[in-house]
Structure 1
Amino acid sequence: MRLYTLFALACLPLLGACQFLGGQSDQLRPQRITWEQRADACQGERCSLVNVDTLQFAEQAPLNALIERALLAMTVEQAEAPLPASLLDYSAVQLQREPQGQQTWLQAKLIDQHDDLLVIELSSYLYRGGAHGMPGRAFINYSLSRQRALQPSDLLLPGGEETFWQAAREAHQRWLREQEFEQDVELRNKWPFEKTANIALLKDKVLLKYDVYAIAPYSMGHPTLSIPYSRLRKVLRPEFLPAQK
C-alpha cells in the first residue's frame, strides 16, 4: 500500500506580514466539510462506506486542491495507480466496485498555526477485511507566499540534513526510554530507526510521526518523535526558526 506524505509549511498573508519573529492576534479558521456515502447496492450486514472530514480555506484554491490530492493519494493501494479526479468520484467508483465489506475514512485537520505557520494533519483508515484496517498519517505545511508545498531542502541550511537526522535519532532514543524499550534488544533489532517524511513544525517543537510498522509493531499505532528547536539552531534556515526556541 502506498501512503502519501508531504513536508511543507505555510506563511499566511491573511495573518498580516510574514514575520517569523513576531506574533499575531488573528487566526485562520477554515470551514470544516464532512460527508459520508454508503453503497446503495449492498444487501449484506457490513456495507461499504466512504467517510470524509476535510477543510476548505476561503480564497485559497491551491491549498484546497493540495489537501484533496493528498487525501486522494492516501486511498491509492496499487503502485503507479492514477489518482481519482475528486473525493466524490473516488467514493462513487469505490462503492460501486466494492459494495460490501470495504471502508475508507479520510480526515484533514488543522493542528497548529503560529507566527506565520499553518500545519495540517492528514489521516486515513482503509479497511479491506480481516482483523483490522491500515491507518495512514501525513502532514501538510503550506507556503501561501510561494503557493507550493516546501520540501526539507527548502528548510535546511547547507549540510544540515545529516545533523537533522542525527537529532531525530536522539529523539528516537528518548522515545525508546519512554516506552521502556531501551533494553529490548529483539525489538530494537526488528524495528530500527528510520527516516520519515511526516514532519511538522509546531509552535514548540519539530514533530516526526511514523506510519504503523515503520519503527514499531502495529499495536503501538503511529510513534511520534519530538525535536526541540534548540537542537536545530544550526540546522533550520533562520526564517524557519521561531524566536526564543
Structure 2
Amino acid sequence: MTLTACAKREPAGAAALASQMETMEWRAPDCEPADDCTSVTVDREVFSDRPALNEAVRLQLLEQLQGNGETTVAADTSLAQVAQAFIEDAGKVADISSARWQMTGDAKALARRGNLLTVQITSYVYSGGAHGMPVTRWLNWDLSENRRVVLEDVIKSGAEGKFWSLAQAAHQQWLETQNAQQDFRENWPFARSEDFRFTDKGLVLRYGVYTLGPYSMGEVELLIPREQLVEVVREDF
C-alpha cells in the first residue's frame, strides 16, 4: 500500500474547511508486469477536524466497494481488509480466468452551498465478465450541525407527493430528450431516488446504471428546476 497526501483549503472568505487528499494502493503480490495485476486504488479527501464527516465518507466507500452502495457493512471493517479480500478472491480464479480484476474508489468534495457540503463518492469494481460496475453517490453534509442531510430533511412537511410529481415530470422530459419509444418507457419506468444535490439550476436526482435505462446509458441525472422548488423544499435549503 502507498499513501500520498496534499493539502487543500477553501477559498478566502469561506468558512474554514481544511482537507488533504490521501491515495491508497494495493496490488496482488509477486505479480509482473504491474499492468496485468489485480489492483485496488482509493483516493479520499480527508477533512481536518471533521471526524464524523470522515467516518460517513469511509462507510459509504466501504459499502460501494463491497456491492452496489446499499450493502450494510460492519463499522470496524477497514479499506485495507476490503482490498485484501478482493485481491485474494481474484487469486482464487486466476487459473480459470485471465481477466484483470480492478477496484477503484474516489471521494472528493463536489460542491458547497453555505454550510451544505456535497461529497461525491464514486467506485468501480471489475471482477470479470463484460464490464465492471460503476457507482456514484452524493453525500450531503451540514457543516454547522455536523450531520448528514438526507432528502427527507429538505422536503417540506406534506409536500412529498408534490415533490415526486415534479421528479416524475423531470423524468418524462428526460425521456423526450432520449427519443424514448413506448417499449423503452414500459421496460424502464420512473423510480424514486434518495441520491440528490443542489445546484444553481435546481435539485438534481441521480440514478445508478440499470435503474432508468440499460448499462449503456450510464448513470442518469434528473433536474427539478429551481423555480419549481419553492413549494416543496424548505426555505433554508
Cα distance in 1 between the residues matched to 2:87 and 2:75: 16
* Aligned equivalent of 2:24: 35
Contact 2:64 2:135 in 1 (8 A): yes
Q: 1:80-108 CA deviation, whole Å, 9 max, x = no partner?
A: 66466221222233223433532111111
* Aligned equivalent of 2:208: 211
SS in 2 for 1:236: coil
- Say how many residue pairs are matched: 217
Q: 1:152-198 CA deviation, whole Å, 9 max, x = no partner?
A: 222111111111111111111111122222xx001001001100111
1:70 aligns with 2:67: no
Contact 1:157 1:235 in 2 (8 A): yes
Q: Structure 1: which 4+ aligned runs deviate by more than 6 Å?
A: none
Q: 1:6-49 CA deviation, whole Å, 9 max, x = no partner?
A: xxxxxxxx98xxxxxxxx93274532222321110547984211
Cα distance in 1 between the residues matched to 2:24 and 2:73: 25
The CA deviation at 1:120 is 1.1
SS in 1 for 2:236: helix
RMSD: 2.4
2:65 partner letter: T
* Aligned equivalent of 1:93: 85
1:225 aligns with 2:184: no
Cα distance in 2 between the residues matched to 1:177 and 1:135: 25
Cα distance in 2 between the residues matched to 1:64 and 1:175: 35
* Aligned equivalent of 1:169: 168
Taking structure 1 as reference, are residues 82 and 102 closer, same or farther at Cα in structure 2, changes over 3 Å only?
farther
* Aligned equivalent of 1:198: 195
Q: Which has the higher strand share?
A: 2
SS in 2 for 1:239: coil
Contact 2:202 2:229 in 1 (8 A): no
Higher relative contact order (CA 8 A, sep 6+): 1
| Structure 2 gaps, min length 5 | 1-8, 95-99
Cα distance in 2 between the residues matched to 1:214 and 1:89: 30
Percent identity for Structure 1 against Structure 2: 32
Cα distance in 2 between the residues matched to 1:114 and 1:166: 25
Cα distance in 2 between the residues matched to 1:80 and 1:70: 9
Q: Please list, as runs of the form range in 1=range in 2, the aligned pairs for 1:94-113 lying within 5 A after superposition.
A: 94-99=86-91, 100=94, 101-113=100-112
Cα distance in 1 between the residues matched to 2:67 and 2:192: 22
What's the TM-score once normalised by structure 1's chain length?
A: 0.80
The CA deviation at 1:65 is 1.1
* Aligned equivalent of 1:143: 142
| Structure 1 gaps, min length 5 | 1-13, 16-23, 241-245
The CA deviation at 1:112 is 1.1
SS in 1 for 2:173: helix
1:119 partner letter: T
Contact 1:125 1:136 in 2 (8 A): yes
2:28 partner letter: A
Q: Which one is further off, 71-80 or 231-240?
A: 71-80
SS in 2 for 1:158: coil
